Amino acid sequence: MAIDKEQQFDTAADFCGSTFSESAGLCTGEGKPVFDAFMGHLPVVAFFKDRESRYLYINNYGCELFKKPLARFLGHTDAEIWDVKTASVTRQNDETVFSTGKTVKNIESIPVNGELRYFRVTKFLVLKSGNGPRLAGFYMDITDKVAAENENTRLHQQLLQAQKMEAIGTLAGGIAHDFNNLLAAIIGYVEIVRHDMVEDNKAAHPLDQVLKASQRAKELVNQILTFSRKSEVEKKPVRLTPVIREAMQLIRASLPSSIEIEQHIDVDKDTILGDATQIHQVAINLCTNAAHAMTEDGGILSITVDSVNFRAGDHLPARTMKYGTYMRLIISDTGLGMSSIVLKRIFDPFFTTKEVGKGTGMGLSVVHGIVRDHGGEIFVDSARGRGSAFQVLFPLIDEDVYSDSVADAAIPGGSETILFVDDEKYLLDMGKQMLERLGYTVESRASAIDAFEAFNNNPDKYDLLFTDLTMPNMAGDELARRIRQERPDIPVIICSGYGEFFKELRAGDLGIDAFLKKPVGMIQVANTIRQVLDQRKSDVVR
Superfamily designation of domain 5-141: PAS domain (3.30.450.20)
Model confidence over 350-376: pLDDT tens digits? 555 554 444 444 568 888 888 988 999
CATH 3.40.250.10 fits 417-541, yes or no: no
In this predicted structure, what is the pLDDT of residue 416?
95
Q: Where are the domains of the chain?
A: 5-141, 234-402, 417-541
Per CATH, 5-141 and 234-402 having the same topology is answered no
Place 276 in a pLDDT band, splitting at 50, 70 and 90: confident
DSSP 8-state code for residue 51:
T
Give me the architecture of the 234-402 domain, per CATH.
2-Layer Sandwich (3.30)
Instruction: Give the helix ranges, DSSP H, for 67-124.
Output: 78-81, 84-100
Task: Report the percent of the chain where pLDDT is more than 70.
Answer: 79
Q: Is the confidence at residue 175, as pLDDT, over 50?
A: yes
Mean pLDDT, the chain, whole residue set: 81
Cα–Cα distance between 440 and 490 in angstroms, integer? 16
Nearest to 261 by CA among 305, 300, 297: 300
pLDDT of residue 302: 94
E-strand spans in 317-440?
324-333, 377-382, 388-395, 417-421
**How many angstroms from the chain centroid is the CA of residue 61?**
47
Residue 27 DSSP one-character state: G
Mean pLDDT, to the nearest integer, of 154-162? 73
pTM (2 d.p.): 0.49
